[in-house]
Amino acid sequence: MSETKLFVIKTKAGNFKSFKELQEYCDKQYETLELALIDNKRLQEENENVRELLKKSIEALETKRIETIIKTPAEVACEMQLRRLEREALARDLTLEEAKKLDIFIKNLRFFENDKKTLECKLSNKKLLDITDSELMEIASKAIKDKNDDGSS
């Protein structure tokens, strides 16, 4: 009778009774590793896309934020009065007093615009690269929430 040799391959992953078992285990590990590498590459590309989208969104939001948040009560009042005078000018000729008011409101709005441009210049000097990942994610989630709030109204 021939003697059957029983051997055990010892590895950190466990004990294998045959080379075939070890080969199957290695093949499965290789497949898992390939899938993980593919997933990693996809996630890196997705991360880059999200970063680019966030950078573009930040630039757009900075301008929008200046326009919407930095309106003083005086600026709002000027805009309201200008709209009122525009409606009246469509219906009839403005009086001299109304024309003077219109001129004053337009000059005031130009003054407010110059102040905004100065502020916008200061904000644009802040480098986007100084913003951390967590700040980018926070800005993005706020932008998405604001967009959803605007869309549901």
User: Mean pLDDT in runs of 10 for the chain (153 residues)?
Assistant: 49 73 88 94 92 82 60 83 90 90 88 69 53 67 68 52
E strand or H helix at 9, and its extent? strand 9-11
pLDDT at 11: 63
Question: Which stretch of DSSP H or E encloses residue 16?
Answer: strand 14-16
Those residues whose C-beta lies under 8 Å from the C-beta of residue 56, and which sit 6 or more positions away, are none
The alpha carbon dihedral of 65, 67, 73, 79 has a sign of negative
pLDDT of residue 4: 44
* pTM for this predicted structure: 0.36
Output the pLDDT for position 130.
60
pLDDT at 36: 94
Supply angle C-alpha 97, 99, 101, rounded to 5.
70
Please report the pLDDT score of residue 121 as a whole number: 57
